């Protein structure tokens, strides 16, 4: 509070600060939701890849574990004898673990959002912009500042 700031100006300044904090929180939540969306898309892509690999494994098993030209494009450098269900299972497991990592990241991002939700932010903003509350706070500040100036003035008189 500046020395000569009027009550109305001070109340408006406090109101503007509270609204600015709320808008910053809205922006924070939007950014966190974007990060969540990105990770959800990654999980979806990983799940598609996992399903594809599972399907190829089933095809391979259905064909009597026979190495085919179709599987050679999938496994490339493996020798025929090395292609087995374990290769598919390991690939599926890697994709599954990566999906779980992304899900944990999403949970942490959501916890960050939940620590100060949009509703919480609105509530705090309304509390911090309540005109009656701000008027009382201003009056207390003015009274405290006045008492401080009065004490300072008395100390100056005593020193003189």
Coil vs helix vs strand at 147 = helix
pLDDT of residue 22: 94
Give, in degrees to the nearest 5, the angle at Cα 64 between 59 and 69: 60
pLDDT of residue 7: 84
User: Does residue 3 carry a pLDDT above 80?
Assistant: no
Q: What is the pTM of this model?
A: 0.69
User: Does residue 14 carry a pLDDT above 60?
Assistant: yes
CA 48/CA 17 separation, integer angstroms = 47
- DSSP string for residues in the chain: --TT--HHHHHHHHHHHHHHHHHHHHHHHHHHHHHHHHHHHHHHHHHHHHHHHHHHHHHHHHTTS---HHHHHHHTT--GGG--HHHHHHHHHHHHHHHHHHHHHHHHHHHHHHHT-HHHHHHHHHHHT-HHHHHHHHHHHHHHHHHHHHHHHHHHHHH-
What phi and psi, each to the nearest 5 degrees, are found at residue 47? -65, -40
User: Does residue 146 carry a pLDDT above 60?
Assistant: yes
Coil vs helix vs strand at 129 = coil
pLDDT of residue 81: 45
**Which pLDDT band, with edges at 50, 70 and 90, does 97 fall under?**
very high
Top-confidence residue, 14 or 75: 14
User: Does residue 36 carry a pLDDT above 80?
Assistant: yes
Q: What average pLDDT does the structure give for the chain?
A: 83
Domain ranges of the chain: 24-123
CA 56/CA 44 separation, integer angstroms = 18
**Which pLDDT band, with edges at 50, 70 and 90, does 89 fall under?**
confident
CA 59/CA 101 separation, integer angstroms = 29
User: Does residue 105 carry a pLDDT above 90?
Assistant: yes
């Amino acid at each position: 509070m500046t020395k000569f700031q009027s009550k109305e100006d001070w109340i408006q300044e406090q109101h503007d600060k509270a609204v600015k904090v709320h808008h910053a929180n809205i922006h924070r939540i939007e950014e966190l939701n974007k990060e969540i969306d990105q990770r959800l898309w990654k999980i979806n892509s990983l799940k598609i890849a996992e399903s594809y690999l599972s399907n190829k494994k089933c095809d391979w098993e259905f064909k009597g574990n026979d190495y085919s030209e179709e599987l050679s494009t999938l496994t490339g450098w493996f020798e025929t004898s090395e292609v087995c269900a374990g290769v598919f299972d390991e690939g599926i497991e890697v994709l599954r673990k990566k999906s779980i990592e992304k899900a944990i990241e999403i949970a942490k991002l959501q916890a960050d959002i939940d620590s100060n939700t949009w509703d919480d932010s609105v509530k705090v903003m309304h509390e911090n912009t309540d005109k009656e509350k701000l008027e009382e706070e201003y009056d207390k500040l003015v009274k405290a500042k006045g008492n401080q100036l009065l004490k300072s003035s008395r100390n100056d008189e005593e020193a003189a």
